[in-house]
Amino acid sequence: MVVCGQHGREYVSSEVCYNLIRLLQVNVREETFTPKIAEFLQEGVGFFIVPVANPWARTLVETNSSRQCQRTNRNGVDLNRNFLHKSAYEFMRGSRSKYSDDGVSQEDDPGPAPMSEYETLAMGEYLSYVNPHLLINIHSGGKDILMPYDCTFDTLPPYYGVMMRLAMHVRDRACPKCAVGTGASSLYPAFGTLVDYALDFIGVQLAYTFEIYAAPQIKNDHALTNDECKAYFNPSAGDELMEVVHRWIAVILVMTDRLLEITV
For the beta sheet containing 144-147, the strands, ordered from the edge strand earlier in sequence to the opposite edge, are: 49-50, 2-4, 134-139, 206-211, 144-147, 179-182
Cis amide bond preceding 232, omega within 30: no
The predicted pLDDT at position 64 comes to 94
How many C-alpha atoms does 221 have within 13 Å on its Cβ side?
7
Report which of residues 190 and 60 the model is more confident about.
Answer: 60
Mean pLDDT of 150-176: 91
Mean pLDDT of 20-47: 90
Q: Specify the pairing of strand 206-211 against strand 144-147.
A: antiparallel
Query: Average pLDDT, whole number, for the chain?
Result: 89
Classify 238 in phi/psi space as left (phi over 0), alpha (psi -120 to 50) or beta.
left
The predicted pLDDT at position 97 comes to 47
Mean pLDDT of 217-244: 91
The predicted pLDDT at position 261 comes to 87
Which of the four pLDDT bands, split at 50, 70 and 90, describes residue 223?
Answer: confident
Contact status, residue 149 vs residue 184, Cβ threshold 8 Å: yes
pTM, whole model, 2 decimals?
0.92
The predicted pLDDT at position 188 comes to 67
Q: In whole angstroms, what is the distance from residue 217 CA to residue 215 CA?
A: 6
100 contact partners, CB below 8 Å, separation of at least 6: 106
Contact status, residue 191 vs residue 85, Cβ threshold 8 Å: yes
The predicted pLDDT at position 101 comes to 42
Q: In whole angstroms, what is the distance from residue 50 CA to residue 8 CA?
A: 14
Report which of residues 87 and 202 the model is more confident about.
Answer: 202
Question: What would the pLDDT profile of 91-131 be if each residue is shown by its tens digit?
Answer: 545 554 444 443 434 688 899 989 999 999 999 999 999 99
Report which of residues 165 and 30 the model is more confident about.
Answer: 165
Mean pLDDT of 15-25: 95
